[in-house]
Structure 1
Amino acid sequence: MPFSPFHLVPGSNDKGLVLLADHARRDLPEEYGSLGLPPQQFERHIAYDIGVEPLTRKLAEMLDVPAVLGGFSRLLIDPNRGEDDPTLIMRLSDGAVIPGNNPMPAAEHQKRVTDFYRPYHAAVSAMIDRVAGASGKAPLVISIHSFTAFWKTAPRPWHAGILWDSDPRAVMPLIAALQADPQLVVGDNEPYDGALRNDTMFKHCIVPGLAHALIEVRQDLIADEAGVEEWAGRLAPILDAINADPDIHVIRQYGSRTGPLEEV
């Protein structure tokens, strides 16, 4: 697949649902080589969210809805951070020094924002607008991520986690539906806190008042085709049911735990 800052997965725009995958791919433009890293580093979570691209594509197929996939490795620049976030371009990630990011001249920093980060977010905005126009309602936005089974040496018990800030509309029924399976350990704002100022959900959902949720699936559970099929089969009917709730498609601002929205 040729390099692009984003990839669009087709689906029916009139269903009022958009899928996102910020960290779907580990690609780099040819000019950046491997950022000075050995190939094995691109097999790790520091480069992308393992299992997320096939899971998102399968969900888009099952639900017949569109998706926007990030087209570049988070090692180049992280699309799920604000432009002012100090972790936007990482110099060190989980023990790996990234030579191509050290040093980071101001001009190069701005180039990555302009050439990769902003085109991805423009594609997300365009897709949300397209679905809003076709469906005649505010879209539900679901972002798909994955997390490692261990942090350092500590095992993570969750099979999945739902991250959110203040809008509970999609989150509460999603958590409840997953927790209905006694075999699953489901995290509420685990293993991360979903309140991250100027991240993807903040920009595209919290500020405009769109219902949303960020789903984190443990990477070892979606590392192969069988795992992807299992989790897509689990999530698709839950998301379809949530999307059928009319209140999900009402613009409603709940604010943010990170501070007043007016500061954006």
Structure 2
Amino acid sequence: MQSDFPPIETLDGHPESGLILLCDHASNALPEEYGTLGLPPAQLERHIGYDIGARTITHALSAHLRAPAVLTRYSRLLIDPNRGADDPTLVMRLSDGALVPGNARIGHDEIVSRIERFYRPYHKAIADLVNARLERGIVPVIFAVHSFTPVWRGVPRPWHVTLLWDKDPRVARPMIEAFAKDASLVVGDNEPYDGALEGDTLYQHATLRGLPNALIEVRQDLIDTQEGAEDWALRIAYVLSPLIIDPAIRRIEHWGTRTGT
């Protein structure tokens, strides 16, 4: 029996806001009928369950910049909204060495069910928000908040903050340059992941529509407390705020090929 489990969280912003915030991996929660997907509960507290600190940053950014936001309420292990619906990693059977028993033998019908219950409502909420802005003549910046582990497979990651982008550098490049002015920060450009992931959230809602966009990744050991996450939200807001009022950035523009990485 299906539980009453709201798949998304939305935050209101100013109706004229030129920014839409997204948080694909905001939560590690699971509907009651899925239990823990057969995992020890401690596994869900790891990065495989959600992006640690990302929800707190998104909430703080929404408040600072008076911007609307759409966030997931479910774990990425249930289904990953930051993938195309036909991506083989949409439902992970193995994640960072952890076998996910509840996904290991998942069939087509269950994948379709999860898409309809959890994946599509998230993307519909984003599309509705974007469409409402465009219908009012407002071209929004689409900005996704993520976080990454300080160590991956035994190798420390040096970056404090990174910007991921695909073809459109309008938001990512100025943010990289602004963060790099702080000599204490190591700033990544499409590190530790490549921003050119066809079918991901920004591809669907921004790249295909020619909307300015970027994805930020903050290292999790910097934002795993309320204080740390709120501090980084202030840093991000300071860098992002001039971009979301710049008419040269906030216009529809399709980019044929990536200008650099």
Match of 2:20 in 1: 18
Report what 2:212 is aligned to: 211
Structure 1 runs not aligned, ≥5 long: 258-264
Deviations 1:67-110 (A, max 9, x none): 10011100000000011111110000001100000201111011
> Given residue 177 of structure 1, which amino acid in structure 2 is its aligned partner?
A
SS in 2 for 1:247: coil
- Give 2:76's aligned residue: 74
In the TM superposition, structure 1's runs of 4+ consecutive aligned residues that sit over 6 Å from their partners are none
SS at 1:246's partner residue? Answer: coil
Deviation, structure 1 residue 255: 3.4
Partner of 2:167: 166
Distance in 2, Cα, partners of 1:241 & 1:193: 25
- Aligned match of 1:55: 57
Structure 1 position 132, deviation (Å): 3.1
Counterpart-to-counterpart distance in 2, 1:129 and 1:184: 37
Aligned residues of 1:163 and 1:194 also touching (Cα < 8 A): yes
- Encode CA deviations 1:16-39: one digit per residue, 9 max, x unaligned: 110000000111111111111111
Within-5 A mapping of 1:88-107: 88-107=90-109
Deviation at 1:256? 5.6
The residue type paired with residue 10 of structure 2 is L
In structure 2, the partner of 1:235 is: 236
The equivalent of 2:156 in structure 1 is 155
Task: Identify which of 31, 35, 38 aligns with 1:36.
Answer: 38
Whether the 8 Å CA contact 2:30–2:75 is kept in 1: the answer is yes
Structure 2: state its 5+ residue gaps.
none
Choose which of 130, 146, 159 in structure 1 pairs with 2:132.
130
C-alpha displacement at 1:137, in angstroms?
Answer: 1.9
Aligned residue for 1:145? 146
DSSP 3-state at the match of 1:14: coil
Q: State the partner residue of 1:248.
A: 249
Residues 156-195 of structure 1 mapped to structure 2, 5 A cutoff = 156-195=157-196
Q: How far apart are the structure 2 equivalents of 1:61 and 1:140?
A: 16
Distance in 2 separating the partners of 1:127 and 1:28: 25
Alpha carbons 1:23, 1:73 under 8 Å: kept: yes
- Say which SS state the counterpart of residue 128 (structure 2) adopts: helix
Structure 1: distance between partners of 2:168 and 2:41: 40
Higher helix share: 1
